Structure 1
Amino acid sequence: MSPIQTHELPTPVVLVVDDTATNLGLVVDALEGNNLRVAVARGGREALKRAELVQPDLILLDVMMPDLDGFETCRLLKANPLTCEIPVIFMTSLTQIEDKVKGFRAGAVDFVTKPLQMEEVAARVHTHLKLRALQKLQEAQNARLQEEVSSRKQAQEALLEVINGVRNVSNAIAHDLRTPLAELRSRLEVLILERRKLGDESVLTQLETALADVDRVIGIFNALLRLAEIDAGVQRSGFVACDLAAIVSDAVEFYQPVAELRSVTLTLAGCERLAATVDPLLIAQAIGNLIDNAIKFACENGEVAVVAVKKGDAFEISVSDDGPGIPDAQKPKVTERFYRGDASRGTPGVGLGLALVKAVATLHHGALTFADNHPGLVATLTIRSGDAAAR
């Protein structure tokens, strides 16, 4: 007999249960000859106690025993949480199919037939010890994986808590400063009107620059507050049934003069009517942000194309341009708040436009995706109607 390989694992322990001393001795000698540790029990009740105490890797169990037969012993082993995972191989002279079925139903994994052939016993023990070792390894790996998942989940929750804390602070600042900024803007307007009436041009330019700076800061705060409302789900109260195609058409019409000033051709294609339940104000702002970005980055005498279509239960609004596009490495980052890519360094903005579009998409159970236009960029806002999202 070739020795059983243990692959540098701790030497397995086999519990042999038999009320016949001769059989017990033969099996013990064969297993110890294969470098296994062996524990013995001379009956079913003793086997139950020994299995709990020793925690063997496998049990060789005789069926015909006087105090407690093998079938009942196996059932009791499987009913005990301390021994239920230990594989059991029956040693029996019973050869009827119904006896084997009874054994498998009791929880056995295999049978060896008496009179025992030690080569067969060694081979079956070897196979099931290997399976048991693999099972234990898998259980250990699963336990480590669960621990890692739990650890990562805790870290993610802690990170989200920090992020939400930062957002809450920025939202509170935006809310508290919006009123004094509005008052400051009003005073600047009054000063500008007074200087114009007096014909005082010396400080007029500086006042107008200051007014533009205040408008920019107010725009940032308004965007932050809109994002805060979307994050909190407050804006879902604004969902109404409307024609999405009309919203897109109005946005294109609004930006036509801007496109003409930059010598950019702005076109619209798609369905004539798209009935949807959405927040029309937020959708209009999101589409406007995409068109505004496309016009900013389009080439002079270039083209910006807007397409609105329905696909299944979703609506897609795509805005494409022929500008520099966005490198693949930056595509996942451009929707982060205050992120500005290399191509946008020389253009106005603070990095909230695409963050707002993504938030609007999320509110409508959709997404914002980017693809290359060769040259340029295709930004696609996918949204679902309130009715479809509810399903």
Structure 2
Amino acid sequence: MSEHLNNGQPVVLVVDDTASNLGPVVDFLEGKDLMVSVARDGAEALRRAELVRPDIILLDVMMPGMDGFETCRRLKANPVTREIPVIFMTSLSRTEDKTGGFRLGAVDYITKPLQMEELLARVQTHLKLRRLQKVLQAQNARLQEEVRSREAAQNALVEMINSVRNTSNAIAHDLRTPLTELRSRMEALIHSLKEKVDVDALERLEGALSDIDRVIRIFNALLRLAEIDAGVRRSGFTTSDVAEIVSEVVDFYQPLAELRGIVLSINGPSNLPVMADPLLIAQAIGNVIDNALKFARTRVQITLTDREDAVHVAVADDGPGISDAEKSKVTDRFYRGDASRGTPGVGLGLSLVKAVATLHRGTLSLKDESPGLLISFAIRK
């Protein structure tokens, strides 16, 4: 009897508490080029079935303690062993005993005293069925994986097409107004400069420059998003301290917060190292803080935490917040909610933050702060 189960031979687990029954079955099956493992009771059968993973189990029904029926029930309840075919060996001949065994998951019965050739024929039949079942399962798994891959590719293609279309439409819409205004201002300025250079003309020139700056900001943001989407920015990854980056960003925005009468504060660990692009992280955090300062009434609180294999930067304000209907839209490119209509911007701030989070295998989430909004930016380690 051998338990070296790595040579490709079918493995049969024989379970019987009587040595005089066990010995002849084992000798006969091994003589037919089958590998055999044995168990003397139900508890040992459960352990050995999980360890050996036999191709088929020959199970005696009448055993002391845990009988064959209960052993079969537990085998079928275990995800590791439930697919292994079970053939009962029994002297029970009542129909209700056999049907009860089939209900528990057995595939066949062999009546004692055993006829060895019949035993071999039934074992070989169910081994063939088991092999065919495994082949079908493998083919089905491959087909399902192929279907999932094709669906994923199709969904990605549809999403890309929609993204390109929506972005193109948004660019055309958002750039048309500032460019039209720029042309009108420049035209008026040219006429004025033909006569004289005065303060009014210079003010209009500054307005035109502001329009130009707005267009440049839009294009810069789009280029950064394109680089992130293409994964180009991964080359800038290095060991970075998120706590230090956030602290520097807070220092940059502190004068603006004081000017608006808003308390801008930060708390959390002073050292949070991750592999990241520090410039993108700084810009993403800056965008979140800038967004909070636009709507906050009295305070903006930044909280740093290190949990679940990620560094979390949470920015909370006490402003009006946003509706649940808008939460799923504010990270869309060029989307501007009702509360943003009167504030500067082009609708790329949070979409850039989401793209940076995705690049760092992280997440961006928004939830009500009552009052206000809590934006949480996670960076995977």
- TM-score bracket, shorter-length normalisation: 0.5 to 0.7
User: What is residue 363 of structure 1 aligned with on the other side?
Assistant: 359
1:158 to 154, 157, 162: 154
**How many residues are paired up?**
288
2:287 to 267, 286, 289: 289
| In the alignment, structure 1 residue 350 sits paired with structure 2 residue 328 | no
Name the SS for the 2:327 alignment partner: coil
1:109 to 87, 92, 95: 87
Deviation at 1:266, TM superposition (A): 1.8
CA gap 1:95/1:359 in 2 versus in 1, 3 angstroms: closer
Q: Which has the larger radius of gyration?
A: 1
CA gap 1:379/1:96 in 2 versus in 1, 3 angstroms: closer
Deviation at 1:163, TM superposition (A): 3.0
Asked whether the 8 Å contact 2:295–2:320 carries over to 1, the reply is yes
CA gap 1:192/1:371 in 2 versus in 1, 3 angstroms: same
Asked whether the 8 Å contact 1:267–1:304 carries over to 2, the reply is yes
Deviation at 1:211, TM superposition (A): 3.3
Name the SS for the 1:382 alignment partner: strand
1:240 to 238, 241, 245: 238
The one-letter amino acid of 1:226's match is R
In structure 1, what is the Cα distance between the partners aligned to 2:364 and 2:215?
26
- Structure 1 residues 323-356: Cα deviation after superposition (integer angstroms, max 9, x where no partner): 0123344333322222333332332323211111
User: What is residue 261 of structure 2 aligned with on the other side?
Assistant: 263
Aligned pairs (5 A) from 1:25-64: none
Deviation at 1:253, TM superposition (A): 2.0
The one-letter amino acid of 2:91's match is T
In structure 2, what is the Cα distance between the partners aligned to 1:95 and 1:288?
74
Deviation at 1:204, TM superposition (A): 5.3
The one-letter amino acid of 1:239's match is F
Deviation at 1:376, TM superposition (A): 0.7
User: What is residue 318 of structure 2 aligned with on the other side?
Assistant: 322
Deviation at 1:294, TM superposition (A): 0.3
Asked whether the 8 Å contact 2:311–2:379 carries over to 1, the reply is yes
The one-letter amino acid of 1:357's match is V
User: What is residue 221 of structure 1 aligned with on the other side?
Assistant: 219
Aligned pairs (5 A) from 1:332-351: 332-351=328-347
User: What is residue 278 of structure 1 aligned with on the other side?
Assistant: 276
In structure 2, what is the Cα distance between the partners aligned to 1:127 and 1:277?
54
| In the alignment, structure 1 residue 375 sits paired with structure 2 residue 356 | no
Asked whether the 8 Å contact 1:259–1:295 carries over to 2, the reply is yes
Unaligned runs of 5+ in 2: 1-27, 35-55, 69-83, 109-135
Asked whether the 8 Å contact 2:62–2:90 carries over to 1, the reply is no
Deviation at 1:219, TM superposition (A): 1.4
Instruction: Give TM-score scaled by structure 1 length.
Output: 0.55
- Structure 1 residues 310-329: Cα deviation after superposition (integer angstroms, max 9, x where no partner): 44753222211100123344
1:308 to 280, 304, 307: 304
In structure 1, what is the Cα distance between the partners aligned to 2:264 and 2:102?
77
Deviation at 1:121, TM superposition (A): 4.9
The one-letter amino acid of 2:88's match is D
CA gap 1:159/1:245 in 2 versus in 1, 3 angstroms: same
Deviation at 1:357, TM superposition (A): 0.9
Deviation at 1:232, TM superposition (A): 1.7
- Structure 1 residues 62-93: Cα deviation after superposition (integer angstroms, max 9, x where no partner): xxxxxxxx989x999xxxxxxxxxx9999x9x
Higher mean C-alpha displacement, 193-202 vs 364-373: 193-202
Asked whether the 8 Å contact 2:85–2:107 carries over to 1, the reply is no
The one-letter amino acid of 2:349's match is G
Asked whether the 8 Å contact 2:86–2:107 carries over to 1, the reply is no
Deviation at 1:192, TM superposition (A): 6.6
In structure 1, what is the Cα distance between the partners aligned to 2:291 and 2:235?
28
User: What is residue 118 of structure 2 aligned with on the other side?
Assistant: none
Overall identity of the aligned pairs, in %: 44
User: What is residue 249 of structure 1 aligned with on the other side?
Assistant: 247
The one-letter amino acid of 2:253's match is Y
In structure 1, what is the Cα distance between the partners aligned to 2:361 and 2:148?
26
Deviation at 1:268, TM superposition (A): 2.7
Deviation at 1:305, TM superposition (A): 1.7
Asked whether the 8 Å contact 2:88–2:106 carries over to 1, the reply is no
Asked whether the 8 Å contact 1:308–1:315 carries over to 2, the reply is yes
CA gap 1:272/1:119 in 2 versus in 1, 3 angstroms: closer
Give the alignment's Cα RMSD to 1 decimal. Answer: 5.4
- Structure 1 residues 286-312: Cα deviation after superposition (integer angstroms, max 9, x where no partner): 11101110011112xx11122334447
Deviation at 1:221, TM superposition (A): 1.7
Asked whether the 8 Å contact 2:86–2:106 carries over to 1, the reply is no
Deviation at 1:238, TM superposition (A): 1.7
CA gap 1:310/1:119 in 2 versus in 1, 3 angstroms: closer
Asked whether the 8 Å contact 2:313–2:377 carries over to 1, the reply is yes
CA gap 1:122/1:348 in 2 versus in 1, 3 angstroms: same
Deviation at 1:124, TM superposition (A): 5.0
Deviation at 1:364, TM superposition (A): 2.2
In structure 2, what is the Cα distance between the partners aligned to 1:287 and 1:130?
62
